[in-house]
Amino acid sequence: QDTLSPHAALPISPTPTDTVALPAAGTASTDRRGTVAELRGQGWTVPSLVGAGLEPLTVDTAQTAEDVEVVVGWGRDEPTVTVRECRPRIVGAAPEGCASTAPLSTGAQERRLAGGGVYRIVPAGGEDGWTAELTTPQAAYRVEATLPDERADAVLTHLLVSERARVLELGGGDAVEERLERGLERIADAVPRPRG
């Protein structure tokens, strides 16, 4: 039996690229909310879109030689927003996009988020919807949505705020109240203010 000593190593936060506990790709789980919560507990951002009335309909994982990816399809009857979160296999390496997807076309537009951060988007063309990419120091994200283009900023801002809250949550031993207060402040800062 192991006993805790004052010199015992402290538990560390899970690293998302520890793929041991990833659900198998294509796993048909009836508890997709539970799977999303489990992935968040392992250190993935996996932003929740439940507040927007969407449910996680698909939860898949993929691994390439360069990265580990989690893909969540959100919607009501069919996926409307698909978020692909890609993390480099090498801890500390800079994310360079999602290895399993082709880069966005050269016609992609660059947009700046109110809460900081820049993303690239290929706007909707007819029924196709839009595709956007956002890269942060922690991960690369690719979002495909059949929502109007003007909703892209809101979705990407939510994703960025979710990641920042996730980094703070994993990185500190602060009281829950302090983390909640900081999270609310970040959300308030990220929401565009009306002009005039």
pLDDT for the residue 196: 57
Distance CA 149, CA 27 (A): 31
Cα–Cα distance list, 154 to 55, 112, 168 (Å): 17, 12, 21
User: What pLDDT, on the 0 to 100 scale, is given for residue 69?
Assistant: 93
Two tokens at 56?
């996680």
Whether residue 152 contacts residue 111, with contact meaning beta carbons closer than 8 Å, is answered with: yes
pLDDT of residue 13: 43
pTM of the model: 0.73
Domain residues for the domain of 85 are 19-190
74 located within any domain = yes
CB of 149 closer than 8 Å to CB of 130: yes
The CA distance from 173 to 104, in Å, is 39
Give me the number of domains the chain comprises.
Answer: 1
4 assigned to some structural domain = no
State the pLDDT at residue 41.
Answer: 82
In sequence order, the 6+-apart residues with CB closer than 8 A to the CB of 195 are none
Q: What pLDDT, on the 0 to 100 scale, is given for residue 28?
A: 43
Residue 9 lies in a domain: no
Question: What's the pLDDT at 11?
Answer: 37
Q: What does the block give as tokens for 157? A: 């801002």
Q: What is the DSSP string of 84-143?
A: EEEEESSTTPPP-S-TTSPPPPTTPEEEE-TTS-EEEEE---TTS-EEEEEE-SS-EEEE
Q: 14 in a domain, yes or no?
A: no
pLDDT means per 10 residues, the chain with 196 residues, are: 38 49 51 83 85 87 89 88 92 88 89 90 80 93 91 90 71 58 72 66
